[in-house]
Amino acid sequence: MKIVRIEAATVWVDLVKPYITADYPDGMKGKPCVIVRMTTDSDLSGLGESDPFPTFTYESPESVLHMIRHRLGPAILGMDPGNLVALHTKMDAVLPGWSFAKAPLDVAAYDILGQAWGVPMYMLLGGKLRDQVPMIWPIGGDTPETNAREAKAKVDDGYRSIHIKVGALAAEVDIARVERIRATVGDDIPLMLDANQGWDRTTALRTIKRLEISKPSMVEQPVPAWDIESMVDIQASVGVPISADEVLHSHHDAMNLIRRDAARVFSLKTGKCGGLFRTRQIAAMAEAAGIPCFVNSMIEMGVSVMTSLHLAASIPNLVDHGHALMSNLRIKEDILPAGSFQYEGRNILVPEGIAGLGVKLDMEEVEKRTLDHFVLEL
Ligand SMILES: [Mg+2]
């Protein structure tokens, strides 16, 4: 089997509600995502999606499109999509780093392999350990009252854990927001906090110690990704697990974090970590180090959500609360047809009886939203 065609597009997505985080203090209203379709000489085609934010990842949707068109695509045309280790070795040789550009090619290759073998993608990741995964609901920056109202509504709606963005507003406001949410939802709902690199070491230490009274399940990326030294100090000084997100792109990053004991949760995103092959390696390294993984998301459409669902189904060492598999629920219109996902309450069901990724695109929606597009052929 040979890769004979790679097609990629940037596709605009609108959010239901502007999302305020430390890297988007004015609120993100929408963004482009990248969709890739890879086709083989046996006429199988696979899908992949990539969702970088330049402030978070150093990569952008435009740079992903450029690198696939000019570096990665030409390097892997003609290769066997089933030979995943060779595919990654080749991509790493022509372009070290650039995980968000590699990820959709990796996922499309897994999708093709699953279809060729007639098995769901999670079987290629080692199999599945669960039939459903609870979802967490993310809450961006706002007043304590508004945030507490939203958290209460989501818990009433069935969510059993809440992800709270901190680090964009003054520390006093964040502390008040988290305390108010905790008082409103009660002690049984895990609250994970995510500062998106928004604090320096001193602010992080001072703020996390004051936040501990609200019993957060973890605090993600309190300081900038380059500041591992401070993460080590913070993890050693506070009682709450620190989660590594922006600092964890590659298996090399994972090794460094484990060696330094810089984080006690790993935040996995299939785009950020370079696709399923590398993300599964990182999860295995975390498992060996006794570190649980949180299956996280960017602002994503359904192809990425389904990819992460296959991943979450296969990982033994998951954090014991909800995972960020709700990304398509906060965008106005997905490029997948309605009914592409099945739910039981606020748990998302792992698909059965599918081959590969198990989703199809709504081509009318894709065309309506396409900003830029190219095709490479062997
Ligand atoms: Mg994060």
Residue type, 173: V
Beta strand residue intervals within 41-153, DSSP E: 45-50, 132-134, 137-139
pLDDT band at residue 214, thresholds of 50, 70 and 90? very high
Q: CA 33 to CA 300: how far, in whole Å?
A: 7
Q: Is the dihedral of CA 205, 207, 208, 210 positive or negative?
A: positive
Q: Cβ of 157: how many Cβ atoms within 10 Å? A: 10
Q: Where are the domains of the chain?
A: 3-118+358-377, 123-349
Task: Measure 241 CA to ligand 1 centroid, in angstroms.
Answer: 14
Q: Distance, CA 111 to ligand 1 centroid (Å)? A: 26
- If you measure from the C-alpha of residue 192 to the centroid of ligand 1, how many angstroms do you get, rounded to a whole number? 10
Integer CA distances (angstroms), 152 to 104, 138, 162, 337, 338, in order: 36, 12, 10, 30, 27
Q: Which of left, alpha, beta for 342 (phi over 0: left; psi -120 to 50: alpha)?
A: beta
Sheet holding 24-40, edge to edge: 45-50, 24-40, 3-21, 370-377
CA 265 to ligand 1 centroid distance, Å: 11
Phi/psi of residue 69, each to 5°? -70, -40
The secondary structure of residue 241, as a DSSP letter, is P
Expressed in angstroms and rounded, the spacing between residue 263 Cα and the centre of ligand 1 is 13
Residue 138 CA to ligand 1 centre (angstroms)? 10
> CA separation (Å) from 327 to 301, 333, 355?
7, 12, 23
Give 296 Cα–ligand 1 centroid separation in angstroms. Answer: 7
Q: Are 232 and 261 in contact (CB under 8 A)?
A: yes
CA of 326 to the centre of ligand 1 (A): 14
CB distance 164 to 350 below 8 Å? no
Task: Using the mean position of ligand 1's atoms as its centre, give its distance from the Cα of residue 158 in Å.
Answer: 22
Kindly give the distance from the C-alpha atom of residue 196 to the centroid of ligand 1, in angstroms, as a whole number. 6
pLDDT for residue 22 is more than 80: no
CATH superfamily of 3-118+358-377: Enolase-like, N-terminal domain (3.30.390.10)
Distance 318 CA to ligand 1 centre (A): 16
CB 270 within 8 A of CB 276: yes
The pLDDT-based confidence of 189 (bands split at 50, 70, 90) is very high
Residue 27 has pLDDT above 90, yes or no: no
Q: What is the mean pLDDT of residues 190-199?
A: 97
pLDDT digits (tens, 9 = 90+) for 104-163: 999 999 999 999 999 999 999 999 999 999 999 999 989 999 999 999 999 999 999 999
Which residues make beta-bridge pairs with 139?
164
Neighbours of ion ligand 1 (CB under 5 A): 194, 220, 245
Residue 54 binned pLDDT confidence (cut-offs 50, 70, 90)? confident
Expressed in angstroms and rounded, the spacing between residue 298 Cα and the centre of ligand 1 is 8
Tokens matching residue 11: 């596709």
Does the 123-349 domain belong in CATH 1.10.10.10?
no
pLDDT of residue 95 exceeding 90 = yes
| pTM exceeding the 0.85 threshold for the entire prediction | yes
Is the separation of the CB atoms in 102 and 274 below 8 Å? yes
Gap from CA of 317 to ligand 1 centroid (Å): 18
**Alpha carbon of 56 to ligand 1 centroid (Å):** 9
Calpha distance 298→138 (Å, rounded): 11
- Cα(373) to ligand 1 centroid in Å equals 29
What pLDDT score does 55 carry? 81
* pLDDT cut 90: percent of the chain above it: 94
The mean pLDDT value for 259-274 works out to 98
Mean of pLDDT values over 7-32: 88
Distance 167 CA to ligand 1 centre (A): 11
pLDDT at 26: 83
pLDDT tier for residue 328 given thresholds of 50, 70 and 90: very high
